A and B are shown apart, each in its own frame.
Chain A
């Protein structure tokens, strides 16, 4: 860590500066020798594998081939497939059932492009500063703004976690599994993923589960979509949605909230840090994020197409939950298709439950200064793991309480995500433009143009929703 020789620290902390200086050649190397932790060794092992893959690839400074990509892929794919969670897939399903093939297909792709712009910035922030998002906000903006951000995150994450377990319950409910067993099994999976004591292993387990988000593709194929209609919709954004304007506005907001949410920012940055990524890995991190965007947008489109038969047959799916979609689809896509759909909802819930509870735990640990890495065994980072499992368990318990206000939560969660994004984006843009933090990796003009555009669009979407709610007749609704 570079330090001015004349600048003796007056506080408990010394000033930090981002550096690519190797630890072994740094001025404090001798002090660090006796203070290495299990986390450092695990991270060093991961870095050894990356360095070796780079060496064995085309050239020392080049991208290095598929092995390197395999090693560095993870946070980006996980964040986007995790964001294809139960309420998101149900929003897409509701979109297909209500409006069929049309405007919403390219619109959903646009929302993923917005998500890509946002998430790419978290890759750079994490790789350059080696700090999580919550930690950076507390450091640079102080406790007041830090706790505001944490409040948004904790509230949003808890509400979202509840909906994930609702999805788990609904998905397995299609197969007659009792809610307590479905929710319990999901908690066991969350526990199994985090008890490995290795970020790499946790990441691979969760990626393995996340790829089952692709179950919506065979479900969509079994719905026999009209591909010429799909192509026409993607190119022309038509037909436009018709009907109740309030419902359209709500679905637009829900579909945006299905793709860009605050937890994604906190999660991906912390995962990049936990993975040990460095500035030289930014290109691979970008590719990882693009890959996540492509996969997730494909699966989202599949979820829309899978429920188009409900639109064609005039089935009112306005109040459908996960299992009801699968049951309603069975006559048209068969028992296999409906089962795949239900399993997809279950998968969406479980992967998001893992990712979102981890995001909350990362932020908790960063803020309190406790150990917060999946590379730590439970005995060394028990507050981190306790918060992770505790938040998941509390959400799961709420789902099992009779007469709990679940419908209220489902209606609001994606909308709240959209509304909470502008402040989160403001902090992100301020951090990624901070040259003291980012150096040469700070945002350029086009990065800021894209980031500000996304923020303005989200604010306008929220204001539009607000105006319509207060003045329902404004749009002729």
Chain B
């Protein structure tokens, strides 16, 4: 009884519920597939939409460039460290 009530409640509030209650869902039926996925999970929906470029504030640009310079400088230092380690080991 409780499960039946839960089932009716779920079907009323969740389109995927009908498919979920099925023992063997017919996944060749497009409506069954669409009922189980969110709108932007479908491949065709994703390929035709983009979130769009956000406007970066000056502070964010400085942050991203600063971190990029940091990585570059650190890679040079790593190179120096490794060359020292390899020569030290010889």
The B-contacting residues of A in range 37-53, CB under 8 angstroms, are 37, 39-41, 43-45, 47-48, 51-52
Tell me the minimal C-beta distance from B61 to chain A in angstroms: 10
Identify which of B42, B53, B85 contacts A40 (C-beta below 8 A): B42
Identify which of A2, A17, A32 contacts B34 (C-beta below 8 A): A32
Say whether A331 faces chain B, with CB atoms less than 8 Å apart: no
Please give the number of chain B residues whose Cβ is less than 8 angstroms from any Cβ of chain A in the complex. Answer: 60
A residues near B10, Cβ cutoff 8 Å: 55, 60
Please give the number of chain A residues whose Cβ is less than 8 angstroms from any Cβ of chain B in the complex. Answer: 76
Identify which of A44, A437, A466 contacts B73 (C-beta below 8 A): A466
B39 and A13 contact, CB distance less than 8 A: no
A422 and B77 contact, CB distance less than 8 A: no
By beta carbon, the residue of chain B nearest A415 is: B78
The segment out of A107-115, A133-141, A160-168 that lies at the interface is A133-141
B38 and A19 contact, CB distance less than 8 A: yes
A residues near B1, Cβ cutoff 8 Å: none
Q: How far is the CA of A139 from the CA of B43 in the complex (A)?
A: 17
B33 and A407 contact, CB distance less than 8 A: no
B residues near A32, Cβ cutoff 8 Å: 30, 34, 42, 44-45
The contact string, 1 if C-beta is below 8 Å from chain B, for chain A 6-41, is 000000011111111111111011011111110111
A residues near B34, Cβ cutoff 8 Å: 22-24, 29, 32-33, 36
The contact string, 1 if C-beta is below 8 Å from chain B, for chain A 59-96, is 11000000000000000000000000000000000000
The B-contacting residues of A in range 185-216, CB under 8 angstroms, are none
The A-contacting residues of B in range 27-72, CB under 8 angstroms, are 27-28, 30-54, 56, 60, 63-64, 67-68, 70-71
B residues near A466, Cβ cutoff 8 Å: 73-74, 77
By beta carbon, the residue of chain A nearest B47 is: A369
Q: How far is the CA of A140 from the CA of B39 in the complex (A)?
A: 20
B residues near A29, Cβ cutoff 8 Å: 34
A419 and B37 contact, CB distance less than 8 A: no
Say whether A430 faces chain B, with CB atoms less than 8 Å apart: yes
Given A13-B50, A35-B44, A142-B53, the answer on whether A22 and B37 have CB atoms closer than 8 Å is yes
Q: How far is the CA of A148 from the CA of B42 in the complex (A)?
A: 29
Say whether A451 faces chain B, with CB atoms less than 8 Å apart: no
Q: What are 27 residue pairs bridging A and B, where the CB atoms are less than 8 Å apart in the complex?
A: A15-B49, A15-B51, A16-B50, A17-B40, A19-B39, A22-B37, A23-B38, A23-B39, A23-B41, A23-B45, A28-B39, A36-B34, A37-B44, A40-B41, A47-B16, A48-B19, A48-B27, A54-B20, A55-B7, A139-B50, A140-B51, A142-B53, A148-B68, A411-B82, A426-B64, A465-B74, A470-B80
